[in-house]
Chains A and B, each alone.
Chain A
Amino acid sequence: MPLLSVLIFFPVLGGLSLLFLERKAETVRLVALVVSLFELLFVLPIFFLFDKGTHQMQFREQYDWISALNINYALGIDGISVLFVLLTALITVLCVLVSWESIQEKAKEFYMALLVLEGAMVGVFCALDFFLFYVFWEAMLIPMFLIIGVWGGPNRLYATIKFFLYTLVGSLLMLVGIILLYLAAGRSFDILFLAGQAYPFKLQVLVFWLFFAAFAVKVPMWPVHTWLPDAHTEAPTAGSVILAGVLIKMGAYGFLRFSLPILPQATQAMLTPMLVLSVIAIVYGALVCLAQTDMKRLVAYSSVSHMGFVTLGLFALNQQGLEGSILQMINHGLVTGALFLAIGMVYDRTHTREIAAYGGLANIMPLFAGFFMVFTLAAVGLPGTNGFIGEWLILLGAFRAQPLYAVIAATGLILGAWYMLWLYQRIFFGGVNEGLRQLAPLNLREILTLAPLVLLIFWIGVYPDALLDFLRVSVGHLVEQVHGAGLAEAGRTALMAIP
């Protein structure tokens, strides 16, 4: 059974089928929920049938698509992509749930866009043909553009155009890079084949920077991060969650899947600028967080900082760094997604995101305060939560590779604790703001939205091997690809040293 194709096209078709429904939010959202739940159900076989002992692509599918240009429809997942597919399916369900009440206008179009987006996102993680990957990568722009632009906040037009243009410029430059690789490799878009070829160093460097344009914008790395705060802030809650949860992971995924294995020499040569940019993002993002007055904007800038950790681990180019980086992407997706969900819930009640408008919320919504506490601590990286494992692995890897950067990055953790706890203090403690007295407690739907995230946060925090087992072999193979066989041996010994 072509499982991955089902995962891609089921939500797309489900989304398009909404076209034929009546124009009532109640019906539409129910269908959307059912579709996204079924998608989550279809993902389960992957979770259980995935063979963790090999770095080979699994669940492969391959058909001719455009033979004139040797383009195939090729799908498959390995340890690096499998978790993202799972994450996408989970996050989409939560997005449908959180939009339940807040999206009333043009609900049909909204859920259509959301489900089509889900299909495209799964496609990005499954594609094994570079052209196919690019199609999914760009196709995501359309629904996301609409989600921010139609259902977003007051400044949504500015934010959505900015988001679209930044991403488009990056993607199109990547397209040129793809074409250069395609021609250099003798007209092939097969990602696995491309990774096995040797390219001249100059071409590698050129392509590396062309890819960098696309991936760095998506991550987002400093200094091309400026679209993110606007897009995050103006997007509706579901949009922010998707952006933080899945979309920005694609940049780092792109580095992992393309830049590292296909352009190993260029990656090695460009390490210093990449690490410097990562560290700047960590510290700069954290410092900017301290100055924010808008909750969503604060969390958005904290994403810049956290994604700095992800790229730092990535360009440490060793087993721990890469594992930590991938795990941290999942963690960040869950935790930041959770924070946006929580902020969305309180925003639905108060219609303000100004931190100053809150205070003493713990007295009014105690359960909500509890949830938010868990998410805050996970974002800070408290041991026992998933955030700790990811950051710890990244710092370990970075320290082995480049101690100086690891030390600077570690200051980001301190700043992170500062801005997150300070945010928590300003919202939940202190005198109760009079405007908040009438707020309703969390309803069952909202609790059901947040509860799975709390479970996952602790589950990964206590037993990270549940996810790390998926990655280990594939990451080991990736390290080999980047360093060549000799260094990989060292990587594997280092791996054994990890408790």
Chain B
Amino acid sequence: MIEQLVVLNPAAFSWGMITPVLPELVLLAIGVALIVLDLFAPRQRQLLPWMTVLGVSAVLLVNLGMYTPAEPGAMLRNDAYSAFFCTLCLASVILAALMREFYSTQVQSHQGEFYSLLVFSAVGMMIMVASVDLITIYLGLELMALPIYVLTGMHKKDLRTSEAAAKYFLMGVFASAFLLFGMSLLFGLTGTTNVAEIGAYIGRNNLADNASLVMALALLIAGLCFKVAVVPFHMWTPDVYEGAPTVLTAFMSVGPKAAGFAVFGRIMLAVFPELHANWGPVLALLAVLTMLVGNITALVQSSLKRMLAYSAIAHAGYALLGIAAGSASGMAAAMSYLFIYLFMNMGAFAILIIFSQGVEQGESIDSCRGMASRNPVLALCMLIFMFSLTGIPPTGGFTGKFYLFQSAVAAGYTAAVIAAVLLSAMSAFFYLRVIRLMYMSGPEQQPAITAPSVGMLVVLGIAVAGVLATGLVPGALFDWAQRAMLP
């Protein structure tokens, strides 16, 4: 213990010690710089999104180019696994910043703190995905979550966002408490906080039947399920997703969720491989329940945003199926799916933001009506996203789901997969409703749509290209995910 505190001693400090966290530190500096700029150059605020994009992209490149060999006892590790998730999370930050830029011009108000908070949250995600130690995992989780609590309630005059923020905060803290409790049990049992060492200790000492270990497992699963919004721990999601500003909803349903899955996978596969017989079926059941609740509830929504929120819950269920498989290939499938989900969900939310024209709440699904005549290109994009979310080839949604189902069947969860495919057929109903309204209903008298800004066009371009590329040639993504899963 004592020698680990050596870093607190200024005399023992060396610059080499911080190289592994250099990208995180740079990102932190960017976040601070954004605050400073926001404070001292209020007239240049429209530049903030672009600076965010540039800064985050630079950090992403640095991080991808950096590979630190695994040291024993290290708390962070820049391996292929973290690189994969880091790319995913930072990409969601970039897309969110671009979408926010369009939204700000739509409502004629630039709020600088949005970007700095987003960047701070990104630092948290980076730490989360690279953590191989319970302490840093928890630290990253909180660092990611706190800025999002604030962002959720940013429109402080709007009662619903305040409600969403309060709800999210309380639920989040609750979940963190579960996690901490589980982690402390693990530490008490094994005497270490290092993920790999805990796993090895459990294997060495045949702790698989230990009651408190199973308790720890249950608590960790509960806490993580809260974070990735899996039924029955999903109650906060629809309200928070609906109440939060739309850009943030898009971000929350992709970036933080992916980071949550990164931790989920790391803990399940590294700490509890011995107990797979215990948690595999439980997670498979939760996955099916999640799809069931998400898809059924989405059926009856009249608000497009709320529908996408429930669909986000359902998609977490699909990804969870990959973790439930408990194999490297299952996790690779879940990772690929999350990446594809980034494209299709961000795309769908981008269209939603354009359609709703700056009105924040109650984006009725009717806003799509007749869109094919009003703006054929946007309608075509939305058509692609909706078919991808349904999982129809040749889109990424199909290949991703296929990979997931394949690895779940290989792990023996055939019944769960059959349930999943039936539920995904059910989801077709509400995704198709959007298409139906866009293509098969006459346009009503509605004001013209604000043309998408450059940033928004970039978002749409990336999303459409991503969905089609992962649908037609998913090999590269699958290979990358599989490589990331190699030890």
Contact = CB atoms under 8 A, between A and B. Distances in A.
B274 to A, nearest CB: 25
Given A65-B475, A150-B440, A179 B393 contact: no
A180 interface: yes
Given A149-B436, A176-B418, A180-B414, A68 B424 contact: no
A172 B393 CA distance: 12
Contacts of A139: 392-394
A183 interface: yes
B474 A142 contact: no
B349 interface: no
Contact of B424 (A69, A109, A157, A172): A172
Contacts of B410: 183
Interface stretch (B60-68, B263-271, B277-285, B401-409): B401-409
Interface in A141-176: 141-142, 145-146, 149-150, 156-157, 160-161, 164-165, 168-169, 172-173, 175-176
Interface string A23-49: 000000000000000000000000000
Contacts of B482: 68
A176 B478 contact: no
A137 to B, nearest CB: 8
Contact of B393 (A109, A135, A173): A135
B480 to A, nearest CB: 9
B261 interface: no
A157 B479 CA distance: 41
B387 interface: yes
Contacts of A149: 435-436, 439-440
A489 interface: no
Contacts of A150: 439-440
Contacts of B394: 135, 139
Contacts of B387: 142
A67 interface: yes
Contact of B392 (A67, A69, A138): A138
B137 to A, nearest CB: 29
B241 interface: no
A309 interface: no
B422 interface: yes
A109 B439 CA distance: 11
A68 B478 contact: yes
B414 to A, nearest CB: 7
A157 B439 CA distance: 11
Contacts of A180: 409, 414
B479 to A, nearest CB: 5
A135 B398 contact: yes
Given A65-B475, A149-B439, A182-B406, A165 B425 contact: yes
Interface residues of B, number: 34
Contact of B418 (A145, A164, A173, A183): A173
Contacts of A142: 387, 392
Interface string B175-195: 000000000000000000000
B392 A165 contact: no
Contacts of A134: 393
A302 B132 CA distance: 66
The B interface is mostly helix, strand or loop, or mixed, namely helix
B406 A69 contact: yes
A150 B390 CA distance: 19
B478 A66 contact: yes
B429 interface: yes
Contacts of B473: 65-66
B474 A172 contact: no
A175 B436 contact: no
B378 to A, nearest CB: 14
B402 A175 contact: yes
Contacts of B421: 172-173, 175-176
Interface in A41-96: 65-69
A161 B417 contact: no
A131 B394 CA distance: 11
Nearest to B418: A176
Interface in A464-483: none
Contacts of A156: 440
Interface in A342-381: none
B70 interface: no
A380 to B, nearest CB: 37
B428 interface: yes
B432 interface: yes
Nearest to B424: A172
B130 to A, nearest CB: 25
Contact of B432 (A145, A169, A183): A145
B202 to A, nearest CB: 30
A176 B440 contact: no
Contacts of B402: 131, 175, 179
A156 B414 CA distance: 36
Contacts of B406: 69, 179, 182-183
A69 B403 contact: yes
A160 B436 CA distance: 10
Contacts of B439: 146, 149-150
B393 A169 contact: no
A157 B436 contact: yes
Nearest to B437: A157
28 contacts: A66-B473, A66-B478, A67-B479, A69-B403, A69-B406, A69-B478, A106-B372, A131-B402, A134-B393, A139-B392, A141-B392, A149-B439, A160-B436, A161-B436, A164-B432, A165-B425, A165-B428, A165-B429, A168-B392, A168-B428, A172-B421, A176-B417, A179-B402, A179-B409, A180-B409, A180-B414, A183-B406, A183-B410
Given A149-B436, A179-B402, 4 more contacts: A69-B478, A135-B398, A136-B393, A149-B440
| The 4 A-B residue pairs with the shortest CB-CB distance in the complex, in nearest-first order | A172-B421, A68-B478, A135-B393, A66-B475
